[in-house]
Amino acid sequence: MMKKCLVTVIALGLCVGSVFGTALAQDKEFKLGVLFSMTGAFAPAGGLAGYQGTMVAVDMINARGGIAGQYKVVPVIADAQSNPDTSIREGQRLMTVENVPVVLGVFSSAIAVPLAPMAEQYKKIFWVIIAISDKVVQDRHLNYTFRVQPTGSQWGQSTVTMFNENLEKFGIKSASEVRVAVIYEDGPYGSSVAAANKEKVKEFGMNLVMEEAYSHKTNDLSSLIFKLKSAKPDVILHTGYFPDVVLFFRQARELGLKTKAIAGHGAGHANMPKLAEAAGGELMNYCFNVDPAPAQLLDRSKLAPGNGDVVGEFLKRYEEKFKDNNPPTHATQGFGHTWILLNDVLPLALEKYGDLSPDSIRKAALDIEIPDGGTPCGYGVKFAPPEHALSGQNLRSYPVVAQSVGGKLSIAWPGALQTAQPVIPLPADSPYGIK
Amino acid sequence: MLEINHVTKMFGGISALADVSFTVEDGSFVGLIGPNGSGKTTMFNVISGAFPPSQGRVFFDDQEISGMKPNAICHMGIARTFQIPQPIKSLTVAENVMLGAVFGVKQAVRRYDARRAWDEARQWLEFVGLKMDPDSLPGMMTAGDLRKLEMARALATRPKILLADEVLSGLNRDELKEASQILQKAREQLGMTIIWVEHIMHVLMRLVERVVVLNHGVLIADGEPAEVSKDEGVIEAYLGQN
Amino acid sequence: MQAINKYGFYGQIILLVVLVMLPFIITSSYLNHIMTLILLWSFVATAWAYMARFGMVSLGHGIFLGIGAYFPTMMFNYWSFTPWIGIWVGVAIAVATAAVLGYACFRFGLLGDYFALVTLAVAEVSALTIMAFRETTGGSLGYTLRATGKISDMQFSDKRVYYFIALILLIGAVYIWRRIDRSPIRLALTAIEESEIAAASLGVSVIRYKMMITLLSAGLTALGGALYAQYVTYVSPDTIAGVGVSLSVCFKAILGGMFTVLGPFVGSTIIVALEEYVRISMGASFLGLSQIIFGISLLIMIIFLPKGIMGSMSLAISRKLNRID
Amino acid sequence: MLNVHDINVFYDEFQALESVTVKIEKGQTVIVVGPNGAGKSTLLRTIAGLQKPRRGSIEFEGHRIDRMEAHQIVEGGISLVPEGGRVFPHLTVMDNLKVGSYNKGARPIAKQRLPQIFQLFPVLADRRNQRAGSLSGGERQMLAIARSLMAQPRLIMLDEPSLGLAPLVVNMVFEFIKSMKQEGYTVLLVEQNANKALKVADYAYLIESGKMVFEGKSEDFDKNPYIKTAYLGL
Amino acid sequence: MFEQILMALINGILLGGVLALLAFGLNLIFGVVKIIHMAYGQFVMLGFYFIYTFHTSWHIPLLLAMALGIAAMGLIGILTQLLVINPLLNAPRLNQLLALASLIIVVENLAQVIWGADYRGIPLSMPIIQFGEIFIRSSFLIAFIGAIVTLWFLYLFLNRTYLGLGIRAVAQDLEMAKGMGINPKVIYYITLMTGGALSGLVAAFFVPIYTVHPHFGASFTLMAFVIVVFGGMGNLMGGFISAFIIGIVTSVTAVLSSKEVADIVALLMFIGMMMVRPEGLLGTES
């Protein structure tokens, strides 16, 4: 009995082992660990889109002859399955068994948070693509984790700042008259953004009338909406994933929630066309959303030479590959942030430090300085050094506040990039508008 | 020593036992009879603590036992067998008896010694005359052997009173004789008090010294076998109007 | 039977030697991680089977895992309370919880399905509680243990230490299982499982023995949860509390065979290995397919090996031997 | 009509019936007596298809039925009145009767059958909308018999119909069994109450520990001294 | 505050309708086949996807698409019986439960393979019903009415047809039902088909409320169970009533504290009920 069992165990061990044994390094290839939640709850929220954007960047670099024209990028793809436990295992496998110098990706901050210390332990680069929670980098003094996009608090700050700059549109003079409600999903992402919301609200002296968190898996938000109705906010700051956002919009309409402005903060709100498709376009109308500017919205003339073409090529390739001419912002982020790694950081490492080892990449990343407009994302790149409280965070990135009007997105904030004046308060044709 | 004092047991709205009183003296051999559904097994369940009486009390050696848990009552010295034998099928024959030997006596668990418990179980199996491998499972036992196992297990708790519930039912001629002999032996060699519920009258009537008759939960007769078998009420209860 | 026991004994010695040597032979930290997880889950599944093999099928062990995982972690993060002691506080709280729950269930005589359903609800309560107290627990997306790297904080630079801790725990759990087998507790619980009333009238205190095994099982499960939290340094209601985890523990024990002492170990090994294998071999090429194959494999195993792998194996062997006799 | 030939029946490892043979002719009332647990109920359950024999055959009107499913056997014309009047307690009396006519052969004539049944058992007509669980033991037994009659059986099997009933009710049940015989039903009866049962039967079997130990006309049973002492009551 | 609670109360009643709908199919399967259908929420998810595909990709009018979706789920119910439940009819309860739990993994990922990870929804603009300050969600109101109508139809089916009678007989006493000429296999198939179709019906009522994704079903199963067992397994009326009790209690508690606390309260009520009256609200002792 024991013998048979032993045989089974050994056989299984061999099976598992053989899968990992195939990884053999070859000349002039660069193995890139790609880890996204391609299945599970986070996949539709943006995990899959991020992966797709990344793959377009890889294709484009390879079409240009590889990194610095020398190294072909070979992606080693793993699925985090929206499960922190699985992602830890996959992260470890990529870093140790596949021995990739760089693991990029992850959608959820909940997965990025435990992965970052692991990268530190194995001295491999963890290139964060989408997860925005401050907690991924804040006060951790990480050496090997880098993040190009803005932090959750920047998300949270930008909407409040925008509203503060547009007080007159509410018909009031002092910030203290604005009634603000903050609602958010209770993960690191939601709580990061909400914390920044509240901080800014306090800073401007606005009136915080309500705040409440909920689980993004919830199937009913009516109690939250009842509470909102009695709090009577002028501004609702919402941070959520996708189904909860749709649920909110639908239930709020049916329960007669009225307010002057609704602003979302990425993730669920990021994908306005999909939201409109799933819930009905008029619900999303006049809704604000914070995110890095989506590629299709960027004013390509303002970008550094060449970058405009890159964005164009991305849009073309994305449409060819995934039959979608309006890529969600997560795809844009996946593309842009991968592009910066493959097109800027890695060639510099090769040129300056002679190889593509994690340590060379790390040094190159810390060296790099790209001014605003120098990347396909619009913003520049300068990573915070290890002694900085946000070590590894790109200090030059910022999100923009966009507003959807009649299915068209326009940039409402910051002023420098503004493409249209924000529409405040919600007009009467919005289901939430006060008639 | 055992006193049943105005015991009533209700199930739903139906009374399975209605105000039954009788006492059983030390060392006596009492038959508890009555037609099907007359409340005999319910009486045993009340005495052994399987469920508490709705009204009335039960005393054992001048101590009230009604309301006590079955295991506590067992420790007091009352053991029972079941109408439908309930061997523990995933324990061996010896282990079944060991259950009684180890748990039936209050301190025995603490001084557990597998070897000794096993030996003790063997002795009880011998006592009831169960001739089968003590290490086999009770799954394939015949009805007669199952009854013997039940009795060995109950006796292993070293009770003062044994409540024997239809130990003869389902047995053939030879087994019938053996089973009733075990009861006699327990009484003679161990000085045990026995209350015996039985359907097979001709055996019971020969052995017991007193009979208590229940019908529809009511005590209708109490006396010596010869007397009781002539009682009009009893005959009617059993045979209907002929 | 003698022959089987003899082979079994040598087999176990060999197995033990292999398990001790394994982390020195396999140096891949990923494989070491998988092996550690296997041992940890084996330990938890074994503790779960303590109860289940006596008919007390709990679908709520997630609550004990959760208590074991969260309390020491939170006490460390908030008060720098060393996990060396914190773990035992967690275990104590889990045991106390088990005492309350168990006593309520056993007092009211909840058996079989009702017991399973109540424990299922309890598992969900554990996950919901973590979410309801999101300010302290981190809510639905988890909680990270503060890293210090100090041995006094139960953090080791060599992660293999956890492999050996898990191995020792598993050996301990197997040893306790064997001790139970040789003690009257097994007699009592087997009797209780088949007929509470028969057991009680033979002098077995039904509630006492049920409580005994429940507290033991809950305590060890909490210990497993605590160790998991210390090892992975990240806990969330999805990974260490709630219905999903509770069910996955059952899966491991049942597929391996919950009536044999090594069943939970074999089950955990096969499930964890199978999950890794299907995901890695086809994970990214056809999204979702690996999980489908994993699910179908579980389904097939449950349908065709109802007694679990070890259970079916020993049944087959004993049949074979009987035929020769 | 019914020919049970040399069957062995097991519950797991436990052998409940050993090489049992029973024959019933059309129109006969046959009784099987024996102590509790001797295998009487198992015999009926096996004929009804609720238990499968490991060996032997059962033929009904010339067809093998021992491999058929229970519901096919009912359709074939055998109906069982289970022990203790096992009716569906949460169904009304009416619904219980309807369940009796569930099989395809009985459904079309259920409507005509009902008044006849109610005539036979007036008490059921009064209680037709009550839950069967609220009936008394005797009424339940009546309902169980009535339910079986709804199935239009040619062979009706009764499992200890007198069990647990008050003496008066027992008499009623036996009266009824007698009248069924007059109506031409073939009846297989299992009883512990041998005295009464023998009076209504044509032929009898004695079963003991799963084996048939004696058979004969019911008058022969009365004469046999062993049976008398061992099984016929006091 | 009072107004809030009043709204929560109305909301709770309507929510009760949705929950009652969820409980019907589960209850039927539970009562008759005696199997805990762990993947019921996933069935609702599948039904939603079917309706979505029929309507959005095949351009079938919505109501017809819903009817087709319900029929398709009936078929899925039959397949479940054939492939999963039949082989496990005599297996230990725990194995049945775990087999259906592994079906969750299969169904969720099958949905991902077929429909992808994206959220899918059919945008429907439901009318707004308003009485002064009180808003009544029309989507829930429809579900509420649907629950009552469904209960009525189920009642007729179970009480006025031979098949329904057979289902009730099998639910009460399988062996006796066999002895009365009922083929339990047929009854099981009918039950699973009806249960499957009911999950499709739930999906149809969910269309105006939710968007669907592969992991959509998970959050519904447990609450549906609580309702079924709380009301008395296999007792449709009990499930119906307990759905409203749970709906109102959770809705009011959620307004006073949070959704999680409300769910905890519901579960504790359920646990308490199991201790005191394990047969449930309207269940009868077995």
DSSP output for A335-390: HHHHHIIIIIIHHHHHHHHSS--HHHHHHHHHH--B-TT-STTSS-B-BPPTTSTT
Average pLDDT, stretch C93-115?
91
Cβ contact (<8 Å) for E178 and D50?
A: yes
The residue among B21, B8, B16 whose CA lies nearest residue B220 is B21
CATH number 1.20.1440.80 is the correct assignment for the domain at D2-230 = no
Per DSSP, the residues of C192-258 read HHH-HHHHHHTT--HHHHHHHHHHHHHHHHHHHHHHHHHHH-EE-HHHHSHHHHHHHHHHHHHHH-T
Average pLDDT, stretch E137-160?
91
| pLDDT computed for residue A2 by the predictor | 46
Torsional class of B66: left (φ above 0), alpha (ψ -120 to 50), beta (otherwise): beta
pLDDT digits (tens, 9 = 90+) for A231-255: 999 999 999 988 889 899 988 988 8
Residue from the list D50, D82, D102 with its beta carbon closest to the beta carbon of E181 = D102
The residue among B166, B151, B155 whose CA lies nearest residue B190 is B155
Q: Where are the alpha helices (DSSP H) in chain B?
A: 40-48, 70-76, 93-103, 114-128, 143-156, 173-190, 201-207, 225-230, 232-239
Residue from the list C191, C193, C203 with its beta carbon closest to the beta carbon of B74 = C203
> Most C CBs within 10 Å: which of A3, A54, A79, as the mutation test of the C interface?
A79
Q: Say how far apart CA C158 and CA D183 lie, in whole Å.
A: 90
Cβ contact (<8 Å) for D99 and E177?
A: yes
Sort A102 into a burial class: Cβ within 10 Å, 0-12 / 13-18 / 19+.
Answer: buried
Q: Say how far apart CA E108 and CA E100 lie, in whole Å.
A: 12
Residue D35, min C-alpha distance to chain B (Å) = 5
| pLDDT computed for residue B238 by the predictor | 64
Whether A14 has a pLDDT exceeding 50, the answer reads no
Residue of E nearest to D150 (CA): E180
B101: domain CATH number is: 3.40.50.300
Most confident residue range from B64-68, C115-119, C243-247, E73-77: E73-77
Cβ contact (<8 Å) for E102 and C286?
A: no
> Most D CBs within 10 Å: which of E176, E182, E185, E237, as the mutation test of the D interface?
E176
Residue B137, min C-alpha distance to chain D (Å) = 11
| pLDDT computed for residue A19 by the predictor | 45
Counting the structural domains of chain A, the total is 2
| pLDDT computed for residue E156 by the predictor | 94
Which ipTM score applies to this complex? 0.85
CB atoms under 10 Å from CB of D45, counted, come to: 23
**Chains contacting D (3 or more CB pairs within 8 Å):** B, E
Cβ contact (<8 Å) for E119 and A242?
A: yes
Residue of D nearest to B229 (CA): D234
Q: Are E96 and E35 in contact (CB under 8 A)?
A: yes
Residue from the list E175, E180, E184 with its beta carbon closest to the beta carbon of D99 = E180
**Is some CB atom of chain C closer than 8 A to the CB atom of A244?**
no
Q: Say how far apart CA D161 and CA D171 lie, in whole Å.
A: 11
Residue from the list B112, B117, B157 with its beta carbon closest to the beta carbon of C203 = B157
Average pLDDT, stretch A147-166?
92
User: In this prediction, what percent of chain B has a pLDDT beyond 70?
Assistant: 97
Name the average pLDDT for chain B. Answer: 87
pLDDT digits (tens, 9 = 90+) for B19-59: 999 999 998 999 998 877 788 889 999 999 988 999 999 99
The residue among A370, A427, A274, A347 whose CA lies nearest residue A73 is A347
**Is some CB atom of chain E closer than 8 A to the CB atom of A226?**
yes
Most confident residue range from A26-30, A317-321, B104-108: A317-321
| pLDDT computed for residue D194 by the predictor | 73
A136: domain CATH number is: 3.40.50.2300
Which 154-213 residues of chain A touch chain C by CB within 8 A?
Answer: 185-189, 191, 213
In the block, tokens 């003698």 appear at C2
**Chains contacting E (3 or more CB pairs within 8 Å):** A, C, D
Distance of CA D189 to the CA centre of its chain: 5
Question: How many CB pairs (< 8 A) connect A and E?
Answer: 115
pLDDT digits (tens, 9 = 90+) for E166-213: 999 999 999 999 989 899 999 999 999 999 999 999 999 999 888 888
Whether C3 has a pLDDT exceeding 60, the answer reads no
Chain B residues with CB under 8 Å of C204 CB are: 71, 99, 103
Question: Could you tell me the pLDDT band of residue E84, with boundaries at 50, 70 and 90?
Answer: very high
**Is some CB atom of chain C closer than 8 A to the CB atom of A88?**
yes
Whether D224 has a pLDDT exceeding 80, the answer reads no
Residue from the list B140, B175, B216 with its beta carbon closest to the beta carbon of D13 = B140
Residue spans per domain, chain D = 2-230
Whether A7 has a pLDDT exceeding 60, the answer reads no
Residue from the list D50, D74, D102 with its beta carbon closest to the beta carbon of E175 = D50
| Predicted TM-score (pTM) of this structure | 0.87
Residue from the list C191, C197, C206 with its beta carbon closest to the beta carbon of B91 = C191
Counting the structural domains of chain C, the total is 1
Complete edge-to-edge strand list for the sheet that includes strand A400-405: A207-214, A179-185, A235-239, A261-264, A288-291, A400-405, A408-413
- The residue segments making up the domain with residue B103 are 2-239
Q: Say how far apart CA C116 and CA C58 lie, in whole Å.
A: 5
pLDDT digits (tens, 9 = 90+) for D90-107: 899 999 999 999 988 888
pLDDT digits (tens, 9 = 90+) for C296-325: 988 998 888 888 888 888 878 777 766 544
Whether C109 has a pLDDT exceeding 60, the answer reads yes
Cβ contact (<8 Å) for B143 and D230?
A: no
| pLDDT computed for residue A183 by the predictor | 95
**Is some CB atom of chain E closer than 8 A to the CB atom of C56?**
no
CB atoms under 10 Å from CB of B211, counted, come to: 25
| pLDDT computed for residue A206 by the predictor | 94
Task: Quote the tokens at residue A276.
Answer: 């409109």
Question: Could you tell me the pLDDT band of residue A22, with boundaries at 50, 70 and 90?
Answer: very low
Whether A64 and A120 share a structural domain: yes
Q: Are A265 and A156 in contact (CB under 8 A)?
A: yes
C80: domain CATH number is: 1.10.3470
Sorted by sequence, the CB contacts under 8 Å of residue B107 that are 6+ apart come out as: none
| pLDDT computed for residue E8 by the predictor | 87
Among the residue ranges A94-98, B13-17, C51-55, E166-170, the one predicted with the least confidence is B13-17
| pLDDT computed for residue D210 by the predictor | 83
Residue A18 lies in a domain: no
Question: Could you tell me the pLDDT band of residue A16, with boundaries at 50, 70 and 90?
Answer: very low
pLDDT digits (tens, 9 = 90+) for A58-79: 999 999 999 988 899 999 999 8
Residue D113, min C-alpha distance to chain B (Å) = 33
| pLDDT computed for residue D230 by the predictor | 53
In the block, tokens 């018999």 appear at D145
- The residue segments making up the domain with residue C73 are 2-324
Average pLDDT, stretch C10-29?
88
Average pLDDT, stretch B138-151?
85
Whether A181 and A275 share a structural domain: yes
The residue among C255, C242, C193 whose CA lies nearest residue C62 is C242
Sorted by sequence, the CB contacts under 8 Å of residue C229 that are 6+ apart come out as: C68, C69, C70, C72, C73, C145, C235, C240
> Most D CBs within 10 Å: which of B136, B176, B202, as the mutation test of the D interface?
B202
Question: Could you tell me the pLDDT band of residue D36, with boundaries at 50, 70 and 90?
Answer: low
Counting the structural domains of chain B, the total is 1
**Is some CB atom of chain D closer than 8 A to the CB atom of B139?**
yes
Whether A6 has a pLDDT exceeding 50, the answer reads no
| pLDDT computed for residue A191 by the predictor | 85
> Pick the residue with more confidence: D193 or D201?
D201
Whether E11 has a pLDDT exceeding 70, the answer reads yes
> Pick the residue with more confidence: E76 or A28?
E76
| pLDDT computed for residue C325 by the predictor | 44
**Is some CB atom of chain D closer than 8 A to the CB atom of E183?**
yes
Cβ contact (<8 Å) for A224 and E8?
A: no
**Is some CB atom of chain E closer than 8 A to the CB atom of C289?**
yes
Interfacial residues of E (vs C; Cβ cutoff 8 Å): 36, 84, 87-88, 91-95, 97-99, 101-106, 108-110, 112-113, 117, 214, 222, 225-226, 229, 258, 260-261, 263-264, 267-268, 270-271, 274-276, 278
Cβ contact (<8 Å) for E211 and A48?
A: no
CB atoms under 10 Å from CB of E176, counted, come to: 22
Residue from the list B172, B199, B241 with its beta carbon closest to the beta carbon of D209 = B172
**Chains contacting B (3 or more CB pairs within 8 Å):** C, D
| pLDDT computed for residue A20 by the predictor | 45
Whether A160 and A206 share a structural domain: yes
Q: Are E200 and E70 in contact (CB under 8 A)?
A: yes
**Do chains C and E meet with 3 or more Cβ pairs nearer than 8 Å?**
yes
User: In this prediction, what percent of chain A has a pLDDT beyond 70?
Assistant: 94
Q: Say how far apart CA E223 and CA E19 lie, in whole Å.
A: 8
Whether A140 and A165 share a structural domain: no
Q: Say how far apart CA A424 and CA A412 lie, in whole Å.
A: 11
**Domain's final residue, options A346, A367, A388:** A367
Q: Say how far apart CA D108 and CA D192 lie, in whole Å.
A: 37
Residue A286 lies in a domain: yes
In the block, tokens 């009338």 appear at A209
The percent helix, strand, coil of chain E (3-state, each to 5) is 75, 5, 20
Whether D14 has a pLDDT exceeding 80, the answer reads no
CB atoms under 10 Å from CB of D172, counted, come to: 16
Strands D55-60 and D63-64: antiparallel
Question: Looking at the DSSP assignment, which residues form a beta bridge with residue A413?
Answer: A401
Question: Could you tell me the pLDDT band of residue E155, with boundaries at 50, 70 and 90?
Answer: very high
Whether A230 has a pLDDT exceeding 70, the answer reads yes
Residue from the list E8, E109, E130 with its beta carbon closest to the beta carbon of A223 = E8
**Is some CB atom of chain E closer than 8 A to the CB atom of C266?**
no
Average pLDDT, stretch D176-201?
84
pLDDT digits (tens, 9 = 90+) for C181-203: 989 999 999 999 999 999 999 99
**Is some CB atom of chain B closer than 8 A to the CB atom of C198?**
yes
Question: Could you tell me the pLDDT band of residue A408, with boundaries at 50, 70 and 90?
Answer: confident
Chain C residues with CB under 8 Å of A6 CB are: 11, 14-15, 18
Distance of CA A415 to the CA centre of its chain: 22
Residue A17 lies in a domain: no
Chain C residues with CB under 8 Å of E103 CB are: 295, 299
Residue from the list E173, E175, E180 with its beta carbon closest to the beta carbon of D102 = E180
pLDDT digits (tens, 9 = 90+) for E226-285: 899 899 888 889 999 999 999 999 999 988 888 889 999 999 999 999 888 888 888 765
- The residue segments making up the domain with residue A409 are 153-291+401-417
Average pLDDT, stretch E45-68?
95
**Is some CB atom of chain B closer than 8 A to the CB atom of C191?**
yes
Question: Could you tell me the pLDDT band of residue C284, with boundaries at 50, 70 and 90?
Answer: low
Name the average pLDDT for chain A. Answer: 86
Whether A186 and A266 share a structural domain: yes
**Chains contacting A (3 or more CB pairs within 8 Å):** C, E
Residue of A nearest to E1 (CA): A230
Whether C208 has a pLDDT exceeding 90, the answer reads yes
Residue A33, min C-alpha distance to chain C (Å) = 12
End-to-end distance of chain B based on CA atoms, in angstroms? Answer: 39
Q: Say how far apart CA B238 and CA A208 lie, in whole Å.
A: 86
Q: What fold characterizes domain E2-116+136-276? A: ABC transporter involved in vitamin B12 uptake, BtuC (1.10.3470)
Residue of D nearest to E160 (CA): D95
Q: Say how far apart CA B46 and CA B217 lie, in whole Å.
A: 13
Q: Residues A327, A331, A334, CA angle at the centre, nearest 5°?
A: 160
pLDDT digits (tens, 9 = 90+) for B62-86: 899 988 999 999 999 999 999 888 8
Cβ contact (<8 Å) for E94 and C292?
A: no
Average pLDDT, stretch B174-186?
87
Distance of CA D161 to the CA centre of its chain: 8
Average pLDDT, stretch B236-240?
62
Q: Say how far apart CA D127 and CA A254 lie, in whole Å.
A: 51
- Segment (H or E) for D97: helix D93-100
